[in-house]
Amino acid sequence: MDELRLTRSYLETLSTGDLAQLAERLGLDIPSDLNRIFVIEELLETDTEIDRALIPEDNELAVLPADGDAKLHLPDRYNATFIEVLLRDPAWVFTFWEIRSQDRDFYEGAPDFGGYHLRLSSLDALPLREGKSSPDSFIISVEPTDSAWYLSFPSSQGLFKVELCVLKGKNEIVLAVSPPLRVPMNVSALSVLNSQDDSPQTKILNLSGWDDFHVLRTVDHVSRLPQRCE
C-alpha cells in the first residue's frame, strides 16, 4: 500500500475545514474551537503512517521530510572545569558542570577515587564556620556521567554557593565553585509574615494583589529530592 507520513509543510497548505476532516478520519478528537496551529501539532504528533488516499490530491509536500535541515554541530564538551547555577524559583535551582578531560582521567584513574559530589553551602553562615564542616551545607553524590541536576534548597531565602568536588581517599578536593546565588523566600513563608497583622501596610499589600498573585505559592508539594537531568 502507498503510505506516507504527514509533514508540517503539507498540513499548512490545508484549510481549517480540511484539517478537521483529516483529524476526524485519523480518529483524533479535536475541539471545534481549537486554533489551527494546535490542530496541525496534534496531527503531527500522531506520527502514524497514513494512507495516500486520505490526501485529497497528490502533493509532494506530504512526503517531504518535515524541517529536514542538516543538524548543526555544537561542541559536546568544552574541555574546561566549571560549575554554573541558574535560579528557577524559590524551590529549584538548575546546576550544570564539566570537568576537564585530563583532570577527569587523572581522578577517575586513581585507585583512591571516591566519586564526585556537589556541596551546597549557605554563604550567610560562612563567617561562623572557619573552615569546619558546617550544618548549613550538605552534599549530593553525582555520577561521573552526570553533568546537570535540578537542586532544591533546604530552606529558602539566603545566599548559597554550589561546589563541585571530587573525593580522593578521604580528601575532598574542590574542582569548581559556582558564583553566589541568592534564593528568595517562598511565598508561603512570606504569607505567614503578611497575615500576622492587620496594619494599613498589610491592607495596602493586599490591595496590591498579595493574595492573588499568580506565583509559585507553596513548595510543600514539590519533592525536596534533587533531580538528575536525563
Partner 1 sequence: MNDRFALSLVLNAHQSFVRFRDTEKKLEDGRLFQSITETYLPLLRVFERLDADRVPFRIALSISPLLCDQLRDPERKSRYVAYLDRRIEFGGWEVERTQAEAPMHRLAKMYYDQMVDDRIQFVERYEGDILRAFDFFHKKGRLELLTTGATYPFLPFYTSYPEVIQAQMEMALITHRSVFGRNPQGFWLPELGWSEGLDEFLRAYSFSYTIVESHGLVFGHPTPSLGTFAPIKTKSSVAVFGRDFYATKDLLDTEYGYVKDPVYRSPSRDVAFELPAQNMAVLLQAEGVRNPSGFKYWNNQTELRDPQKSLYDVDGATKRVQEHAKMFLDNRLERLRAAKELTSQADLSLCAFDVDLFGRQWFEGPQFIEALFREAARREAVYFVTPLEYLNKKELWTLQTSTPEFSSWKEDGYAQTWLDSTNDWMYRHLLRSIDRMIELAERFPDGAGLKERALNQAAREILLAQDALWASNSASPREAAISRRCVEEFLHNFTNIYESLGSNYISTEWLTDLERRHGFFPEMNYRVFKKKR
Q: Which residues bind partner 1 (CB under 8 A)?
A: 8-9, 12-17, 31-33, 35-38, 40-41, 44-45, 61, 67, 69, 71-75, 78, 80, 82, 84, 86-90, 94, 96, 98, 147-148, 179, 182, 184-185, 187, 190, 200-201, 203-205, 207-210, 212-216, 229-230
**By C-beta, is 65 or 109 nearer to partner 1?**
65
Distance linking the first and last C-alpha atoms of the chain: 39
Nearest distance in Å: CB 211, partner 1:
10
**By C-beta, is 1 or 37 nearer to partner 1?**
37
Nearest distance in Å: CB 194, partner 1:
8
Q: What are the Cα distances from residue 112, in Å, to 64, 108, 119, 133, 170?
A: 55, 9, 20, 22, 9
**By C-beta, is 114 or 158 nearer to partner 1?**
158
Nearest distance in Å: CB 112, partner 1:
30
Contact 187, 215 (CB under 8 A): yes
Q: What are the Cα distances from residue 201, in Å, to 166, 209, 213, 217?
A: 50, 13, 17, 21
Among candidates 65, 87, 73, 215, which has minimal Cα distance to 158?
87
Cα-flanking dihedrals φ and ψ of residue 14, to 5°?
-80, 150
**By C-beta, is 8 or 117 nearer to partner 1?**
8
Nearest distance in Å: CB 114, partner 1:
26
What does the radius of gyration of the chain's CA atoms come to, in whole angstroms?
A: 27
**By C-beta, is 56 or 169 nearer to partner 1?**
56
Nearest distance in Å: CB 206, partner 1:
8
Contact 101, 85 (CB under 8 A): no
